[in-house]
A and B are shown apart, each in its own frame.
Chain A
Amino acid sequence: MNSKIKNYVDVVFKDVPRSKKAIELKEEIASNLNERFEDYLKEGKSETESYGLAVANMGDIDEMIREVMPNEDFVKEANTYRRRNARNTAIGVCLYILGAAALILFSIIGEQVGMDDLGGALGVIVLLVLAAIATSLIVYSHMSTPKEYKDYEDSQEQELKSMKPKDRKIFEAISSIYWLIVTAVYLLISFLTHAWGITWIIWVISGIMHQIIVVIFQLKGTNE
């Protein structure tokens, strides 16, 4: 593929969200345009002339692009799915934690009344039942989301989009270091204190703090 042709198509699709439809159209245009370009070259035209002629034959690009842009209804529906999936994932995670809590609770009760085995078994059963519900909830959410909505960029990407390219790079760098530090802190504290039952709260706090960093970067972008 000629680099100028590739560049041209990249520019045309710069602001188009990367849905499956848009990616396919882009690839189709690039391959046809490149073939036309090469045919002009074969006819003995210069590279500049061939490029100009190939691009000139594109016509009304705006109308074509409009068709692969997500319309309002699509965005609305995608958001509905996103909210539903977020809710189901949250409930799922909550059930996993409740399962672990139930296991601990039943074990303690079992010990107290002198029926260790029964307590442990009940705890495991409750844990498994809750885990089954949680897993099916999460799997159902993702399987029942139509593909085009899944392809639609997730909210994180949209957040990044509102930042300037330079800020985005800095943000991504900070983000990756941030999560590394959080993981290290989590493991360190958990291993030192053995309080695994409570240290997960570090993730919740870190998530909130991460969101604050996102907002700071977004505000910085809009101020300038």
Chain B
Amino acid sequence: MLVMSDIIRGYTDTFILAQLLHHDSYGYEINKAINDMTNARFELKEATLYTTFRRLEHGGYIISYWGDENTGARRRYYAITELGKQLYYENLNDWKDAKSMIDKILEDRQ
């Protein structure tokens, strides 16, 4: 399980980029979507989420803007940039390569 959580940690950036690929979103919504998708088996910690947002924004992969909610607190939305889309597809391909490679190595031993 340690290895599992390490793998997941390496893909935090890509998880967020994947969520933003379809539409702009904000912290809680992204986390909730991932939670729903995995049937509550996985959810990012909020602190990790904000740290990742800052890192991605600093690198120019996403941009942020404030929503204009009429009620309650303002939400900070994030949108993916062209650079972010490139990174997403690069990471996706890396993952597919790694996955098929690991599959081959592991399944050959059976």
A interface residues with partner B (beta carbon < 8 Å): 1, 24-25, 27-36, 39, 57-61, 63-64, 67
Contact = CB atoms under 8 A, between A and B. Distances in A.
Nearest to A65: B47
A31 B50 contact: no
B73 A27 contact: yes
Contacts of A57: 43, 45-46
Interface secondary structure of A, over-half rule: helix
13 contacts: A1-B72, A24-B76, A25-B50, A27-B76, A28-B26, A32-B46, A33-B28, A36-B28, A39-B32, A57-B45, A58-B45, A59-B48, A61-B47
Interface residues of B, number: 17
B45 A32 contact: no
Interface of B: 26-28, 32, 43, 45-48, 50-51, 54, 72-76
Contacts of A63: 47, 51
Given A27-B74, A33-B46, A35-B28, 13 more contacts: A24-B76, A29-B50, A31-B74, A32-B26, A32-B27, A34-B72, A58-B45, A59-B47, A59-B48, A61-B47, A63-B51, A64-B51, A67-B54
